[in-house]
Structure 1
Amino acid sequence: MRRLPLSPALLMLAYAAVGLAGCAPVTDAPSLARRPAEAIDPRLPIADRSAALPADPALAAALRRIADPAFAQARTVDAAIARAEGLAATAGPPGSESWISAQQSLSAAVAAQEPVTRAIGEFDAAVADRIASGARLVPQDLAAVRAISGDLAAVDRRHRAALASVQRRLSR
């Protein structure tokens, strides 16, 4: 194959055409002008005025309605655990009548705690639904959520520790 020689003038014309093609106007390019958000100094602290917002009384009432049965049931669970502890303290060896009776009492105490466990799940679901819905949670709402949640968790921890203690005593 034979190469055709390119004249320097033709070569310069080709380079000029390519160079001018890059200078064509772009009609849909974004503007390089400063946007309003760029005028804000990022070092300035942002004032949190959310503490002044009023709490949602309906939220606190709804969360209390979910938690109150658990708090009411806590006394029943405490009594069932006390019965199980008493029977476990006097239980004979595994498989004996007294040991079986203590195991059944422990099972009754665990079953009595079910409303507390259910209330914790419903409480968490209600708060998660509130967050997922995009509804506001002001600091006062969050304080109410934390207080009720903390009270539920304390009851649950106390019961679980007592039930575990009875279980350890019976599994000796």
Structure 2
Amino acid sequence: MRAPSSAPVLLLMPLLLATGLAACAPIKDAPSLARRPAEAIDPRLPIVDGSAALPSDPALAAALRQVAAPAFAQAPAVDSAISRAETLAASAGANGSESWIAAQQSLSAAVAAQEPVTRAIGAFDAAVADRIASGTRLVPQDLASVRAIAAQLDELDRRQRQRLAAIQARLAR
């Protein structure tokens, strides 16, 4: 038997030596292990919201009220049309009768009368969305104005739609 040759090991020796020396080289631009300024902040401390002190935008509230105004201006006409449809539906005869057809036509007129209300609600939502998309901050007072107008629009729309749904249910019998 022959003894193993050490020639391959001798050939790999410079490569192993170069690899070992490269591992000992200093690392340039290595990240520091020192504490960062953000790490000095105690995460248990409450975050103070100073946005309440920011001034509101009176032009925003006025603009949003102007966008919502057609809904409130149209409300009496819609209520009148719904009342007429309620009266005709209460006295409507069987499906297909003359009185039932008149009640259906009156219901259609009431739904059509509510169209400006629906459009105003959509325009209001779009105006608020545009304001948010613009990146302009809504301070708490502005947000309160938006919510108040939205609640008024929602109540108006909800009330009218409930009355219209009741008429539809009465005529569907």
Aligned match of 1:155: 156
Secondary structure of 1:19 counterpart = helix
Task: Provide the identity percentage.
Answer: 73
CA distance in 1 between counterparts of 2:20 and 2:115 reads 79
Q: In structure 2, do the counterparts of structure 1 residues 57 and 21 end up closer, same or farther at CA, with 3 Å as the change threshold?
A: same
Give the gaps of 5 or more residues in structure 1: none
* Number of the residue aligned with 2:116: 115
Q: TM-score of the superposition, structure 1-length normalised?
A: 0.90
Distance in 1 between residues matched to 2:110 and 2:161, nearest whole Å: 10
Which one-letter code corresponds to 1:133 in the other structure?
Answer: S
Q: Which residue of 2 aligns with 1:164?
A: 165
Counterpart amino acid of 1:71? F
CA distance in 2 between counterparts of 1:97 and 1:62 reads: 46
Residue 148 of structure 1: SS of its match in structure 2?
Answer: helix
Is residue 89 from structure 1 mapped to residue 85 from structure 2 by the alignment? Answer: no
How many residues matched? 170
| Farther-moved stretch of structure 1 (8-17 vs 108-117) | 8-17
Q: Where in structure 2 are the equivalents of 1:73-88 lying within 5 Å?
A: 73-88=74-89
- Bigger mean CA offset, 12-21 vs 94-103: 12-21
Q: CA deviation at 1:49?
A: 1.1
Tell me the equivalent position of 2:73. Answer: 72
Q: Give deviations 1:27-74, integer Å, cap 9, x for gaps.
A: 354444433222222211111111111110010000000111101111
Unaligned runs of 5+ in 2: none
Bigger mean CA offset, 46-55 vs 21-30: 21-30
Q: What TM-score do you get using the length of structure 2 for normalisation?
A: 0.89
Check if 1:101 corresponds to 2:102.
yes
Aligned counterpart, 1:137: 138
